[in-house]
Amino acid sequence: MKIKNLINNIFIFSLLIFFITSSNAGEIFVSLKKNKVNVRYGPSFESDIKYVYKKINLPLKQIDKKENFRRIIDLKNNSGWIHISQLKKSNSVIAIKDKVLFKKPTSFAKPVAQIKEGRLLIIEKCERNWCKITSEEFEGWIKTDNIWGLN
């Protein structure tokens, strides 16, 4: 009886681990390769276009995949399917609150600029809880809290 209970517990534990790890396995951030990208209702070119993104480097969360299409969701919870050829590894984030851009990766460094909520930021590199970014004419470091699009 003890062996049967042990086997049942191991089986249940294994299922639990499988579902926990597989549920987030496909959720990664990606960015748009081009200035104009079609988002479709389904994972095929025969599916109707739902809407069009017009912002290169826009970060998106990939939540599913089927063959050469990826199901994405954006910061505003819009979702749909995009062909993999229109996506690249994530290289950008969006500030979800106003942030300060610093010259170095410390809050004691010289402030460079005020980054407004909703601003698209291009990531150069990240270290600990800081990312070096560029945004039009500014370059510097921001803390990784209150940004959307970071894996």
Average pLDDT over residues 39-50: 98
CA–CA gap between residue 123 and residue 64 (Å, rounded): 24
How confident is the model over 99-138, as pLDDT tens digits?
Answer: 999 999 999 999 999 999 999 999 999 999 999 999 888 9
Q: What is the mean pLDDT of the chain?
A: 89
CATH class assigned to 92-148: mainly beta
CA–CA gap between residue 134 and residue 41 (Å, rounded): 33
- Greater model confidence, 25 or 40: 40
Two structure tokens written together for 67: 């063959």
Domain spans in the chain, listed from the N-terminal domain onward: 26-89, 92-148
Q: Is pLDDT of 5 > 70? A: no
Lowest mean pLDDT among 7-11, 17-21, 31-35, 111-115: 17-21
CA–CA gap between residue 35 and residue 39 (Å, rounded): 13
CATH code for the structural domain at 26-89: 2.30.30.40
Q: Give residues with Cβ within 8 angstroms of 48, minimum separation 6.
A: 40, 41
